[in-house]
A and B are shown apart, each in its own frame.
Chain A
Amino acid sequence: MTRLSADEVQHVAELVKLKLTAAEIELFASQLSAILDYAAQIQEVDTSQVPPTATVLPLRSIMRDDVTEPRLSVDEALANAPNRQDSFFKVHAILDGSQ
């Protein structure tokens, strides 16, 4: 029986930029643990003789010719944006430590 720690849940939440309450961390810790248990169960199957599966479709090498096609207008591209400034999508300031 896996038991994810609060720190581990917090780390995953940070990777996907989610802000969780203590109660949510508790809830997801038990739900995610159950999922990991299920994965662990599948991992018991011996696959040493089976090549890794990248796809279940019988398709290979679907490619297109290198030609350009009509694009969206700037207004169409930005139609769903919650915020725009001139022709840009506008988001909260992103800091990477250089500022």
Chain B
Amino acid sequence: MTPAYELVVGMEVHAQLLTQSKMFCGCSANAFDTEPNSNTCPVCLAMPGMLPVINRQAVAQTIRAGLALNCTIGAEAVFARKNYTYPDLPKGYQISQYELPQCSDGWIEIDTAHGAKRIGITRAHLEEDTGKLVHADGVSLVDLNRAGVPLLEIVTEPDLRTIEEVNEYLTRLRQLLVTIGVSSGDMEKGAMRMEANISLRPAGSSSFGTKVEIKNLNSFRAVRNALEYEIRRQSAVLATGGQVEQVTMGWLEHAGRTYVQRSKESAHDYRYFPEPDLPPLAVSREWVAELQASLPELPLARRSRFMAAYGLKLADADVLSADRGVADFFEATLQAVGGVVTPHKVAHWIMGDLFRLLNEHNLDRIPIPAAHFAELLQLVARHVINANTGSQVLKTMFSSGESAARIVERENLAQVSDANVLESAVQSLLAAHPDEVARYQAGKTQLLGWFVGQVMRETRGKANPDLVRQLLQKYL
């Protein structure tokens, strides 16, 4: 970015809430990849006379998200009609919380190059999704399977100053929503859709420049690309003494550019008014307290605890706390190894061998019980098998589902620590390679590694490498 200008960004994220049914009717909230218009009813089709009824779970999930985002939970939320005409909106209005949102005035913490930073959350409110349009040859095709699915819209203050901060905010937000079970975070299924409000201002200025809103951002990469594009475009306009126009833009991922959807003059006038079909939503303190108690430990709190309680480094604690499944697995393993293996070692095995296998098998959940993993680490710690064999056993555990001890026994993998057995292996190796022995004795001590390797090969990797090294040094 041209250093003459400072970037100012506010984000709007629409997260699909994890519910069984839609926001105001009993159609399924999970109708991906199903036949178009096979998931509708008179309510979400907007048949005359049909009335919406609020999904209690959607409200609960919204409040839980608001609490995790340190928001004030409104004692009363009011749904409003947001009026506009578009074929993906059968009623001609979207029901959305407007003047009185469920959650307001919160914050989320992110990491920056200059330490922790709080990003203000202006509001988090509940609304319904629209249908989907498919543009074909000269016509548009409407699928209303998704119409009425509950969405949580989370709006930040214009607090983000770099593309890295934007990316970090989105990552932390997604992590938080997934951890508390409010959203799947599955970007490929559109579970998070984003809009960015971006403006530039002269470095050091405290007033804001004219902002541009960019819609249709469906991945973190799209957000990054669109912001990079707009920074270049707006910098060029400002650098030549021009003015940035206040417009709403779309992002064309394939073309790598933004385009103007609406100018300020043609901006929508949504004519909001309270939804007469829905009474205001009063939320009792008891219910909010109950929902607060239902929240698990949040990722950043868990990260701090991992550092304090287990002496992990920030980077390791960050990786292990990012996913609730991984974090739970880490702690369950620690408990099961009962002090035989250090937290550092457990972390090392999870982030190394285990993550590699998850990648190879294309899994996002760990398929083996923590107890099995703990047993494997104990076998290595007690030198029953060496670390290389441990990696092999873990691989087998992934495909067979057997316990580590069983695999070690069946495949006869226990480490050979019997000095007599290794002694004869060392002696016959030395006898077979007089040249190398002579070179070693003449001072080429690096050959020790080669000798160790030969013994390991001879014993199919099962020899205790420390013992082999000791024996070699004794006989050489």
Given the interface pairs A77-B37, A86-B36, A97-B259, the reply to whether A71 lies near B27 with Cβ below 8 Å is yes
Report A86 CB to chain B, min CB distance, Å: 7
Q: Which of B53-61, B238-246, B332-340, B405-413 contacts A (4 or more CB under 8 A)?
A: B53-61
Given the interface pairs A55-B279, A62-B279, the reply to whether A97 lies near B41 with Cβ below 8 Å is no
User: B138 within 8 Å of A by Cβ?
Assistant: yes
Report A62 CB to chain B, min CB distance, Å: 6
B41 touches A89 (CB 8 A): no
A94 and B130 CA atoms in complex are apart in Å by: 15
Report B27 CB to chain A, min CB distance, Å: 5
Q: Which of A60-87 contact B (CB under 8 A)?
A: 60-74, 77-78, 85-87
User: B427 within 8 Å of A by Cβ?
Assistant: no
B425: chain A residues within 8 A (beta carbon): none
Report A64 CB to chain B, min CB distance, Å: 5
B279 touches A96 (CB 8 A): no
A66 touches B37 (CB 8 A): no
User: A39 within 8 Å of B by Cβ?
Assistant: no
A72 and B39 CA atoms in complex are apart in Å by: 7
B41: chain A residues within 8 A (beta carbon): 69, 71-72
A23: chain B residues within 8 A (beta carbon): none
Report A45 CB to chain B, min CB distance, Å: 18
Closest to B27 in A: A71
A62 and B52 CA atoms in complex are apart in Å by: 10
A57 and B283 CA atoms in complex are apart in Å by: 17
Q: Which of A36-70 contact B (CB under 8 A)?
A: 54-55, 57, 59-70
B57 touches A66 (CB 8 A): yes
User: B181 within 8 Å of A by Cβ?
Assistant: no
B56 touches A63 (CB 8 A): yes
Interface string of B50-71 (1 = CB under 8 A from A): 0001111111000000000000
A98 touches B252 (CB 8 A): yes
A89 and B144 CA atoms in complex are apart in Å by: 9
Q: Which of B18-26, B103-111, B360-368 contacts A (4 or more CB under 8 A)?
A: B18-26
Given the interface pairs A69-B26, A88-B37, A88-B141, the reply to whether A98 lies near B58 with Cβ below 8 Å is no
A87 and B142 CA atoms in complex are apart in Å by: 9
A94 and B269 CA atoms in complex are apart in Å by: 19
A96 touches B144 (CB 8 A): no
A87: chain B residues within 8 A (beta carbon): 35-38, 143
A66 touches B58 (CB 8 A): yes
Closest to B260 in A: A97
B139 touches A91 (CB 8 A): yes
B35 touches A62 (CB 8 A): no
B250 touches A96 (CB 8 A): yes
A83 and B37 CA atoms in complex are apart in Å by: 14
A87 and B134 CA atoms in complex are apart in Å by: 12
B87: chain A residues within 8 A (beta carbon): 89, 91, 94
B282 touches A68 (CB 8 A): no
In this complex, how many residues of chain B approach chain A with their Cβ under 8 Å: the count is: 56
The interface residues of chain A, by DSSP majority, are classed as loop
B37 touches A90 (CB 8 A): no
Report A5 CB to chain B, min CB distance, Å: 15
Closest to A11 in B: B269
Closest to A18 in B: B85
A57 touches B279 (CB 8 A): yes
A61 touches B282 (CB 8 A): yes
User: A19 within 8 Å of B by Cβ?
Assistant: no
Given the interface pairs A66-B55, A66-B56, A71-B38, the reply to whether A91 lies near B140 with Cβ below 8 Å is yes
A64: chain B residues within 8 A (beta carbon): 26, 53-56
Interface string of B29-49 (1 = CB under 8 A from A): 000000111111110010000
Residue contacts A-B, CB under 8 angstroms, 25 given: A54-B279, A54-B280, A55-B276, A62-B54, A63-B56, A65-B57, A67-B21, A67-B26, A68-B20, A71-B27, A71-B28, A71-B38, A71-B39, A74-B36, A74-B37, A85-B139, A88-B37, A90-B140, A90-B142, A93-B135, A93-B140, A94-B140, A97-B260, A98-B252, A99-B135
With A63-B281, A66-B20, A87-B37 known, 9 other A-B pairs at CB within 8 A are A54-B280, A55-B276, A60-B279, A61-B281, A66-B19, A71-B41, A88-B134, A89-B87, A93-B138
- Residues of B bordering A, CB below 8 Å: 19-21, 25-28, 35-42, 45, 53-59, 78, 83-87, 133-136, 138-144, 250, 252, 259-261, 268-269, 271, 274, 276, 278-283
Ranked nearest first, the 6 interchain pairs of A and B with the lowest CB-CB distance are A69-B26, A66-B57, A88-B141, A59-B279, A89-B142, A63-B56
